[in-house]
Structure 1
Amino acid sequence: MRILDNIRVYLRFLEVSVKSQMQYRASFVMLSLGHLAGTGIEFIGIWVLFERFGSLKDWALPEVAFMYGIVNIAFAITDAATRGFDAFGVMVKSGDFDRLLTRPRSTALQLAGQELTLRGVGRLLQGLIVLVWAATALDLDWTVLKVLLVVFAVLGGAALFSGLLVLQATLAFWTTESLEIMNTVTYGGVETTQYPVTIYRPWFRDIFIFVVPLATVSYFPSLAILGRDDPLGTSLLFQYLSPAFGFVFLAATLRVWQFGVGHYRSTGS
Structure 2
Amino acid sequence: MILLSITSALSLFILLKNVSGLDGWTIWQLLFINSIWRLAHGLFLLFGQATWTISNKVRMGTMDRFLVRPMNLLSQLFMSEFNISGLGYIVGGFVVFIIAANNMGDFWSIYNIILSFVTILVGFFIEVALFLMVGTLSFWVTETGGINAILLNFLTNFHQYPLSIFSVALQYILTFVIPIAFINYYPSFLILDVDSEITINSNLIYFGPVISILFVVLAILFWMYGLKRYNSTGS
Q: TM-score, normalised by structure 1?
A: 0.81
Higher relative contact order (CA 8 A, sep 6+): 2
CA contact (8 A) 1:172 1:179 kept: no
Q: Does the alignment pair 1:260 with 2:197?
A: no
1:52 Cα deviation from its structure 2 partner: 4.6
Deviation string, structure 1 residues 1-32 (Cα, Å, up to 9, x no partner): xxxxxxxxxxxxxxxxxxxxxxxxxxxxxxxx
Distance (Å, rounded) in 2 between the aligned partners of 1:122 and 1:54: 31
Q: Structure 2 stretches of 5 or more lacking a match?
A: none
Distance (Å, rounded) in 2 between the aligned partners of 1:140 and 1:259: 48
1:214 Cα deviation from its structure 2 partner: 1.7
Deviation string, structure 1 residues 44-103 (Cα, Å, up to 9, x no partner): 221121135343232111010110111110011001212222122221111111111111
Distance (Å, rounded) in 2 between the aligned partners of 1:93 and 1:155: 31
Q: Does the alignment pair 1:196 with 2:127?
A: no
Distance (Å, rounded) in 2 between the aligned partners of 1:43 and 1:108: 34
1:181 Cα deviation from its structure 2 partner: 2.7
Q: Structure 1 stretches of 5 or more lacking a match?
A: 1-34
Q: Does the alignment pair 1:211 with 2:187?
A: no
**Pick aligned residue for 1:234 from 172, 194, 202:** 202
Q: Does the alignment pair 1:62 with 2:52?
A: no
2:52 corresponds to which residue? 86
1:179 Cα deviation from its structure 2 partner: 4.0
CA contact (8 A) 2:58 2:233 kept: yes
1:144 corresponds to which residue? 110
Distance (Å, rounded) in 1 between the aligned partners of 2:103 and 2:20: 16
Specify the code of the residue in structure 1 equivalent to 2:43: I
1:209 Cα deviation from its structure 2 partner: 0.8
CA contact (8 A) 1:70 1:127 kept: yes
Using the TM superposition, name which of 41-50 and 180-189 deviates more. Answer: 180-189
Aligned positions, number: 233
User: Structure 1's 67 and 185: CA in aligned 2 closer, same or farther, altered over 3 A?
Assistant: same
Q: 5 Å matches for 1:48-127?
A: 48-127=14-93
Q: 5 Å matches for 1:142-181?
A: 142-181=108-147
Distance (Å, rounded) in 2 between the aligned partners of 1:266 and 1:222: 44
Specify the code of the residue in structure 1 equivalent to 2:85: R
1:217 Cα deviation from its structure 2 partner: 2.5
SS in 2 for 1:188: helix
Distance (Å, rounded) in 2 between the aligned partners of 1:252 and 1:57: 34
Distance (Å, rounded) in 2 between the aligned partners of 1:157 and 1:184: 18
Aligned residues: CA RMSD: 1.7
CA contact (8 A) 1:171 1:179 kept: no
Deviation string, structure 1 residues 237-262 (Cα, Å, up to 9, x no partner): x5244233122212211111111111
1:40 Cα deviation from its structure 2 partner: 2.3
CA contact (8 A) 2:163 2:171 kept: yes
CA contact (8 A) 2:134 2:147 kept: no
CA contact (8 A) 1:73 1:154 kept: yes
Distance (Å, rounded) in 1 between the aligned partners of 2:165 and 2:120: 22
1:111 Cα deviation from its structure 2 partner: 0.9
Q: Does the alignment pair 1:131 with 2:97?
A: yes
User: Structure 1's 230 and 55: CA in aligned 2 closer, same or farther, altered over 3 A?
Assistant: closer
Distance (Å, rounded) in 2 between the aligned partners of 1:181 and 1:209: 19
